[in-house]
Amino acid sequence: MEHHSNIVPWQIACEISGAKLRVIPINDAGELLLDEYAKLLNEKTRFVSVVHLSNSLGTINDVKKIIALAHQVGAKVLIDGAQWAAHFPTDVQDLNADFYAFSGHKLFGPTGIGVLYGRAELLGKMPPYQSGGDMIESVTFEKTTYASPPSKFEAGTPDIAGVVGLGAAIDYVQSIGFDSIHRHEQMLLDYATEQLKSIPRLRIVGTAKDKGSVISFVIENPPIGSLDIGLALDRDGVAVRTGHHCCQPVMERMRISSTSRASFAMYNTRSDIDALVASLRKLVAANVSAKKSTAAPSEVVYPSAVAASPEAAAEELAEVFAMLDDRETRGEYVIELGQKLPNYFDLLKQVTPRVPGCMSEVYLVPRKDSDRLEFVADANADIVRGLIALLEKLFSGQKAKDILNFDIESFFNRIGLDQFISTQRRNGLAGMVSRIRHEAAAIGGA
């Protein structure tokens, strides 16, 4: 259930040091299996790092017990408290943590600032990780001695404005009081859980007994992609987070590609939850009607070329986008393209691996026709299906060499793609383009 920020640095450290990364398993409710964790610990264990409150599932981990078990074998422990710090009091001495970290913007403060606590004796033994002004005690050309922690780790001019802003945010939260915050958020969590469970086809992902005010969910049978859920809610003025939440391993463990996530804080109300539930009910009802009218084709039809070249196809598409006034209209047009795409998802999923890098599930099947590339693709989100439709219009049925020579980024800039497609969706789009170019290169012998 760890955020990528508590996975990737340890993978890099393992590559450098030769250490081995071992993972604590979780159950279907999204709870750490602490009995299995205890079995992983031995005299070779050097470091344990775990999230306090999961951003993707809402699970609250028993970090005090995790720390105590690690200390029994001499291991040091870092706790990722980014999600915890804004909702509950944090006593690092009571936890007996060696290191504890949290970010400012999760605590209603500025971005780009955070806190790292470390035991004084441990920080004193550690060398500085960067050099510069104000982290020194004395400097000569022969030798430099370093200041005591924390100055030793704060090279250069600090983020003074960020520190002041974070301090103000902490004062604000403490003025309200964590007891009041927790009571209010628990009420919202209980109410939202009860209401969301009543929505047909909606399944909550992460059902730990001890949870923070986070609810991740999917809509299944038939599925509605999390990106489509987010766009539909946005049109009704409801903001949720969609995707894998920088937690791809837990998505794989739960056998899903992404979720929609509603996060509740002290400023939310029951009426916010009522708006969320009403919008989801409307979406589910509309989706049922749409599915009844769009049966899956019995066979795959590969799209032929819509123009003499990718450049000619791009000109036609660019003219259409030029007539669309704003980003909302352009986004709606892409979604409409996706809704018209043949429903090959279940069929393609059985015969080809998922395209890597995409936030949603994308499957693409190419075939060679002389010196040309044809392909079909599908995804579990209409906005992504719309991007697939664009790529099919540009490339399917075109000569491989023309595909490779086409400047796709210039085309995307021309139609203002960045105005209505998020960075994460662009990453998925890049994955699809890479796959198409790879197939074209195989045909062209490049």
* Residues that are catalytic: 246
Q: Which residue bears the tokens 């469970």? A: 197
* Tokens 């958020």, located at residue: 185
141-to-130, 138, 144, 151 alpha-carbon distances in Å: 18, 10, 8, 21
CA-CA distance, 50 to 362, in Å (whole number)?
A: 31
- Write down the residue that tokens 């490049």 correspond to: 446
Burial class (CB in 10 A: 0-12, 13-18, 19+), 403: buried
Where in 113-258 does DSSP place strands (E)? 114-118, 136-139, 144-146, 202-205, 214-219, 241-243
- Assess contact for 173 and 107: CB atoms under 8 A: yes
Integer-rounded Cα radius of gyration of the chain: 26
Please give the structure tokens belonging to residue 387: 């991007």
In angstroms, the CA 217 to CA 226 distance is 9
Q: Is 54 in contact with 214 (CB distance < 8 Å)? A: yes
CA distance 328 to 187: 35
Tokens of 76: 């040091």
- Classify burial at 363, counting beta carbons within 10 Å of its beta carbon; exposed 0-12, middle 13-18, buried 19 or more: buried
Amino acid identity at 284: V
Compute the distance between CA of residue 61 and CA of residue 24 in angstroms, rounded to an integer: 12
